[in-house]
Homo-oligomer: A and B are copies of this chain.
């Protein structure tokens, strides 16, 4: 009984929290999609709701009537097995359903889940509810980064909030922790929730390495820029160099150079660059080139996981050198939920840690985040590794 209460209460808190994130928005902010990767906030609100409707209410709640017959089409994201869906690039072209209809949809599904769950809970349903909650938490992080993109891409550079703090100084007198060669255990071993991509705990042999106990700061990154890091092709991957040239990249995303001074757009508006804060909004290509320039390298995801208890983390997603690949004996869940992770395991890099946008308790030492190497709109950063 206790567990159910807890789960339900987590469910309700999660549902509320998504809406709190959106509270400072104007209605117009909910609608736009400036690039393919950034979804309109109202889409996130509808899609996380659809997930509960599609995977719990529709199949299991007897007599459940969907809120609207076309919403499954509008709010499905990529579950090919579930049916037709709005092409991803078209999300920002839809003015309807309106924001207020999306909120009605949320209320409708939330209260149906609540009444259904109070009466029909079972282990299966609990599992589905749990995954739905974690799914919504993932979208809470995207909500924040997408809102930042939407506002930061606007020539008026509007503020999101006066209180959200992106940048905290780090102790710049960092040290390198030496990790001895040997076998380390990697992957999730507890009984709590984790994603399927963390399962299959296994041993990995690591060579001796030394890992920094702090994130790279804006001050260090500015040094790279001032030393012409963006102009020296030898520091870059071939694809990274093409990306620099064809997008004329010369600084992290959201940096503005005004009268020879650097400013950074933050959720609190445009601010002078805070030198002791960890650098953020860089691509993997930039993280790699920076490390090359320093004569060091990025950790693998295994090195990161083995060493993580020796440093603090959680303010920036940390690019690793690892490609996003299945662990030994990785198996997809059957059916549509199996489309969750496995089908993205090509051409992406793993990020470890968590960021100031990650919801409370959503990340853990074994959590594997992943993005294409050129993407910058997440709160990512980097940590260096060198020979011991």
Q: Is the CB of A207 within 8 A of B329?
A: yes
Q: Is the CB of A95 within 8 A of B26?
A: yes
> Does A154 make an interface contact (CB < 8 A)?
yes
> Does A80 make an interface contact (CB < 8 A)?
yes
Q: In which size bucket is the chain A interface?
A: 35 or more
Looking across the interface, which residue of chain B has its beta carbon closest to that of A208?
Answer: B328
> Does A238 make an interface contact (CB < 8 A)?
yes
Docked pose: A39 CA to B231 CA in angstroms: 29
Docked pose: A288 CA to B332 CA in angstroms: 14
Q: Is the CB of B238 within 8 A of A155?
A: no
Residues of B within 8 A of A238 (CB): 78, 343-344
Q: Is the CB of A236 within 8 A of B96?
A: no
Q: A81 to nearest B CB, angstroms?
A: 6
Residues of B within 8 A of A236 (CB): 343
Docked pose: A78 CA to B233 CA in angstroms: 11
Chain A 29-48 residues near chain B, CB threshold 8 A: 29-34, 42
Pick the most buried of A70, A151, A238: most chain B CB atoms within 10 A of its CB: A238
Partner-contacting stretch, out of A105-113, A128-136, A197-205: A197-205
For the complex of A and B, list the 6 residue pairs with the smallest distance between their C-beta atoms, beginning with the closest.
A323-B323, A34-B93, A28-B95, A205-B205, A29-B95, A80-B233
